[in-house]
Amino acid sequence: MSSFFLPSKRSTKDRKRKKSVVRKPRPEKEVVKGPKKIKKTARDEEIDSESDHESTKVERKPNGIKIVDDDEEEEETVAEKRLRLAKQYIAQVEEEELSKREDAELDYDAIAHRLKEDVLREAGKLQRKVADTLCAPGIGDVRTLRGHQLPVTCLAVTPDDRFAFSGDKDGCIIKWDLESGVKVHVFKCQKRRKREGKRGGRGRGRERDDTPGHAGCVLGLAVSSDGKFLASGGKGGAVHVWDAETNAHIHKFTGHRDTVSGLAFQGSSHELFSCSLDRTVKIWNLDEMLYVETLFGHQDGVAAIDCLQREKPVTAGTDDRTVRIWKVVQESQLVFTGHKASIDCVRLINEEHFITGSQDGYVQNNYIFCCVCFKYFRKYFS
């Protein structure tokens, strides 16, 4: 037999030698878990030790307050940052209150009152009693602005008291400068123009022009809290949105089936409420220029509407003799009765109190309008 298939003596010896070798288990100290460590160069080691030394550098004041460097500030959490900013703000308020007082003692009640006022002012809910500082206008304080061809039906003033918008029965809206009394701009109404009838037809027809605006009397005006939007409504059931700064027409909302009698913005938002003689209240979003919702409940036409910060508008019905507060989020309403005749106007004093005017004579409408006038022009009459 050929020796090609037989293992050589040398190979058998090597195999036996390999079998006889017994590997000893590695001691526990040499067991390494995870990736192997790569030995760094001396240059890398110097850089790492330098950066570690800088990142762990902490200074301490004698009073025990720790001052951290920029690396630790980057790792600051949101809650820690909020706490740090709050402490800085309180320290600033304490310093301001201390500078106002002659003695060196701090009045912590005054600081707490100041912080509470700042929170309410930021939320738009700060209220101050100003009724005792108001006085009736004198003859020299009354200014007459002329420009309308027909009776004025509604009025709105910008939040900064610089401009006023007035609407009339003709459908025109005029923008006034309150400082100078000058007419700034006129929002023209739509005019009817004649056109020839068809051959064989009966007489002539009429068509409207393409001017954006009202075709009938304007009964409601409202300006947003930031002075960006002017909303107008009236006969025809349409709600027009204008740019209060550039006087450009932005959008036209249609949805009411009867005359729009009142408009009101919700606080500092761009949510608009409109009431109509079709017994409904509609909600519009001016940020997206969309219709939101319709509120039902009045048994007759709605004459007036008002709203403050909360999403709870108040409306006055005409012949149903009710005042309703709408809880939009809860989808409910509160009904108030008491007047014996049609209710024509309503105004919110604050979130808990409102005042109404009716034809039964219990509250004079002139008094209501005077209160609204004081609200808008108090700085000119004081």
| Kind and range of the H or E run holding 174 | strand 173-177
**Is 50 a residue whose pLDDT tops 50?**
no
Q: Which amino acid is at 122?
A: E
Lowest mean pLDDT segment, chosen from 96-110, 121-135, 159-173: 96-110
Selection from 351, 341, 347 nearest residue 369 by Cα: 347
Asked if pLDDT for residue 95 goes beyond 70, the answer is yes
Rounded Cα distance between 177 and 184, Å, is: 6
Task: Please give the distance of CA 210 from its chain centroid, rounded to a whole number.
Answer: 33
Round to whole Å and give the CA distance between 305 and 222. Answer: 11
Task: Kindly tell me the sign of the dihedral angle through the C-alpha atoms of 356, 359, 362, 363.
Answer: positive
Q: What's the chain's average pLDDT? A: 77
Task: Give the SS3 label for residue 200.
Answer: coil
Residue that has been written with the tokens 């009429």 in this structure = 206
* Cα–Cα nearest to 264, from 295, 227, 205, 220: 220
Question: What is the reported pLDDT for 14?
Answer: 52
pLDDT digit string, tens, across residues 130-167: 778 888 878 888 888 999 999 999 999 999 999 999 99
Q: Comparing C-alpha atoms, which of 353, 354, 311, 308 is closest to residue 332?
A: 311
Sorted by where each begins, the domain ranges of the chain are 75-126, 142-193+209-381
AA letter at 302: V
Whole-model pTM?
0.63
Given a contact cutoff of 8 angstroms between Cβ atoms, the answer to whether 145 and 172 are in contact is no
Residue 114 pLDDT level (bands cut at 50, 70, 90) = confident
pLDDT confidence of residue 340? 86
262 forms beta bridges with 275
All residues at 6 or more sequence positions from 264 whose CB lies less than 8 Å from its CB, including other chains: 222, 272, 273, 305, 306, 307, 313
Domain 142-193+209-381 has CATH 2.130.10.10: yes
Asked which of 1-5, 199-203, 342-346, 375-379 is least confident by mean pLDDT, the reply is: 375-379
Which structure tokens are listed for 6? 């037989």
